[in-house]
C-alpha cells in the first residue's frame, strides 16, 4: 500500500525504514523461515489476494518456529477462511465512510477527530477493520490536506487530533513534524494522539527524530499502541516503550479479542501484567469489527464477557481494559461489560 501524505525519497534510509523495506511479503519465504509445512504457504499464497502478506523481521523474530498455531503467526498468516463470505461481515463495518468530515478526516466523536494519513502499515493484520478501506480517496500531497486542516480549524469543539492510518509512523519524521507544527498552530487543539503498531513491530522506529516532533510542540502527546499477546514484547520493544515514557509520552494499549490468538483468560491476564509492568495502561479490548474476511477471528460476546470477568478477579482494577465494541452511528465505543 502507498503513502497518502506526500513524501520524497530520502537519500539515506533510517534503520526503521530499512527494516520496513525488508519485511517478508512472500508466503513461501515466511514458511521457510519458520519451518512450517509447505501446504501452509500454498494456502497463504492463494488467500493473500487483495490484502497481501506483510511481516517485518523484528516481529518475525518473536514467532515460535515450526508452530502452525503460534498466536503471532495467526495474526499475519492469510488463510483460505478469509475468502469465504460470512453473514454480517462487510467492507466498512464501523461506518468510516459515513463519518468523513473532509478528505482523510473522520469525525465520529465529540472533541476528537481522526486523520487517515496513510494506507501503509508495518504489518498486515488479517483481522484489520480497515483492510478494505479506500485509502486511495485520502489526500496524498500536503496541499490536499488543506480541507481537513481547515475543517479542524473551523470546529472549536475539537481538542484532540488522532493521527492514524494505516500506521502514521510509516511516514517520515520530516512530514510528521510539519503536520504536528501545523496542528499546534490551531489554538483550540490541546492533544496529539498517535495510533500505531510500530513500537511493537519495528521498535527502532522510536528514535530521536520521532521524539523531537512528538514532544516538541505545545500539544500533549499520547501514544496508543496495539498488542494482542504477551509474546509480542521483547527487549527492543521494551526499550522503545521506555524511551517514549521517559520522554513524557503516556502509552495506552488496545487489543482485539481474537479467536486462536488471545481468547483465554491466561493470555489476556499475562498481556495486562506485561503492559502494566512496562508502565503501559491497558485501554481497550475490542470486540472484532465485522469486516469481510475476518469472520474466523470472531469470539462470541458472552465468551468475551466471561474472560473479562475472570480478569477482574486476578488483576488490579487499572489493569483490566474496557471491553468495547464499535457500533456505526453511536457517540462513543460501547462497553460490553
Ligand X SMILES: *Cc1c(COP(=O)(O)O)cnc(C)c1O
Q: Does 274 bind ligand SF4 (CB under 6 A)?
A: no
Coil/strand/helix, residue 106: strand
The nearest distance, CB 106 to ligand X, in angstroms, is 4
The nearest distance, CB 197 to ligand SF4, in angstroms, is 4
DSSP assigned state of 254? E
Query: What distance in Å separates the CA atoms of residue 102 and residue 158, rounded to the nearest whole number?
Result: 14
Taking the least distance from each CB to ligand SF4, the nearer of 24 and 121 is 121
Coil/strand/helix, residue 274: helix
Q: Which does 167 bind (CB under 5 to 8 A by kind): ligand X, ligand SF4, none?
A: ligand SF4
The nearest distance, CB 160 to ligand X, in angstroms, is 8
The nearest distance, CB 121 to ligand SF4, in angstroms, is 3
232 within 8 A of 240, measured Cβ to Cβ: no
DSSP assigned state of 333? P
Q: Which does 142 bind (CB under 5 to 8 A by kind): ligand X, ligand SF4, none?
A: none
Q: Which of residues 142-181 bind ligand X (CB under 6 A)?
A: 162
Instruction: Using CB under 6 A, count the residues that bind ligand X.
Output: 9
Q: Which of 123, 285, 294, 299 binds ligand SF4 (CB under 6 A)?
A: 123
Residue 280 CA to its chain's centroid (Å): 16
Taking the least distance from each CB to ligand SF4, the nearer of 189 and 198 is 198
Query: What distance in Å separates the CA atoms of residue 165 and residue 195, rounded to the nearest whole number?
Result: 8
The nearest distance, CB 287 to ligand SF4, in angstroms, is 15
Where does this chain touch ligand SF4 (CB under 6 A) — which range of 59-67, 140-148, 159-167, 262-270?
A: 159-167
Query: What distance in Å separates the CA atoms of residue 181 and residue 183, rounded to the nearest whole number?
Result: 5
Q: Does 112 bind ligand X (CB under 6 A)?
A: yes
Where does this chain touch ligand X (CB under 6 A) — which range of 75-83, 103-111, 198-206, 267-275?
A: 103-111
The nearest distance, CB 75 to ligand SF4, in angstroms, is 8
The nearest distance, CB 38 to ligand SF4, in angstroms, is 26
Q: 5 to each of 50, 83, 157, 169, 203, how far by Cα in Å?
A: 22, 31, 25, 11, 22
The burial of 30, by beta-carbon neighbours within 10 Å (0-12 exposed, 13-18 middle, 19 or more buried), is given as: buried
The secondary structure of 187-237 as a DSSP string is TT--EEEEE-SHHHH-GGGS-HHHHHHHHSSSSEEEEEE---SGGG--HHH
The nearest distance, CB 54 to ligand SF4, in angstroms, is 8
Q: Does 223 bind ligand X (CB under 6 A)?
A: no
Q: Which of residues 83-102 bind ligand X (CB under 6 A)?
A: 99
Q: Does 109 bind ligand X (CB under 6 A)?
A: yes
Query: What distance in Å separates the CA atoms of residue 288 and residue 308, rounded to the nearest whole number?
Result: 15
Q: Does 56 bind ligand SF4 (CB under 6 A)?
A: no
As beta bridge partners, residue 100 has 106
Q: Does 232 bind ligand SF4 (CB under 6 A)?
A: no
Q: Which does 166 bind (CB under 5 to 8 A by kind): ligand SF4, ligand X, none?
A: ligand SF4
118 within 8 A of 5, measured Cβ to Cβ: yes
Q: How many CB atoms lie within 10 A of CB 229?
A: 21
Q: Contact positions toward ligand SF4, by CB under 6 A?
A: 121, 123-125, 128, 130, 165-167, 197
Q: Which residues contribute to the site for ligand X (CB under 6 A)?
A: 99, 106, 108-109, 112, 114, 162, 332-333
Amino acid at each position: 500500500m502507498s503513502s497518502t501524505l506526500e513524501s520524497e525519497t530520502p537519500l539515506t534510509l533510517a534503520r526503521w525504514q530499512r527494516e520496513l523495506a525488508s519485511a517478508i511479503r512472500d508466503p513461501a519465504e515466511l514458511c521457510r523461515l519458520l519451518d512450517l509445512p509447505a501446504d501452509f504457504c500454498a494456502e497463504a499464497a492463494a488467500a493473500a489476494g487483495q490484502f497481501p502478506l506483510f511481516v517485518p523481521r523484528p516481529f518475525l523474530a518473536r514467532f515460535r518456529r515450526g508452530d502452525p498455531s503460534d498466536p503471532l503467526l495467526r495474526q499475519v498468516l492469510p488463510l483460505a477462511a478469509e475468502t469465504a463470505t460470512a453473514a454480517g461481515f462487510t467492507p466498512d463495518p464501523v461506518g468510516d465512510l459515513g463519518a468523513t468530515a473532509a478528505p482523510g478526516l473522520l469525525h465520529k466523536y465529540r472533541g476528537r477527530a481522526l486523520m487517515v494519513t496513510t494506507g501503509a502499515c508495518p504489518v498486515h493484520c488479517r483481522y484489520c477493520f480497515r483492510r478494505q478501506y479506500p485509502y486511495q480517496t485520502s489526500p496524498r500531497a500536503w496541499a490536499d490536506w488543506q480541507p481537513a486542516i481547515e475543517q479542524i480549524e473551523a470546529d472549536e469543539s475539537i481538542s484532540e487530533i488522532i493521527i492514524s492510518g494505516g500506521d502514521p509512523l510509516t511516514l517520515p519524521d520530516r512530514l510528521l513534524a510539519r503536520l504536528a507544527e501545523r496542528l499546534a498552530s490551531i489554538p483550540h487543539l490541546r492533544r496529539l494522539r498517535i495510533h500505531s503498531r510500530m513500537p511493537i513491530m519495528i521498535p527502532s522506529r522510536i528514535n530521536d527524530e520521532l521524539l523531537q516532533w512528538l514532544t516538541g510542540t505545545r500539544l500533549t502527546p499520547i501514544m496508543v499502541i496495539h498488542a494482542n499477546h504477551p509474546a509480542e514484547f521483547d527487549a527492543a520493544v521494551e526499550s522503545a516503550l521506555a524511551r517514549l515514557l521517559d520522554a513524557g509520552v503516556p502509552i495506552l494499549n488496545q487489543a482485539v479479542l481474537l479467536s486462536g490468538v488471545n481468547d483465554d483468560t491466561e493470555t489476556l491476564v499475562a498481556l495486562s501484567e506485561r503492559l502494566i509492568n512496562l508502565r503501559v495502561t491497558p485501554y481497550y479490548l475490542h470486540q472484532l469489527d465485522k469486516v469481510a474476511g475476518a469472520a474466523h477471528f470472531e469470539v462470541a460476546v458472552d465468551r468475551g464477557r466471561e474472560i473479562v470477568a475472570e480478569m477482574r478477579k486476578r488483576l488490579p482494577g487499572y489493569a483490566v481494559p474496557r471491553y468495547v465494541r464499535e457500533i456505526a452511528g453511536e457517540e462513543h465505543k460501547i462497553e460490553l461489560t
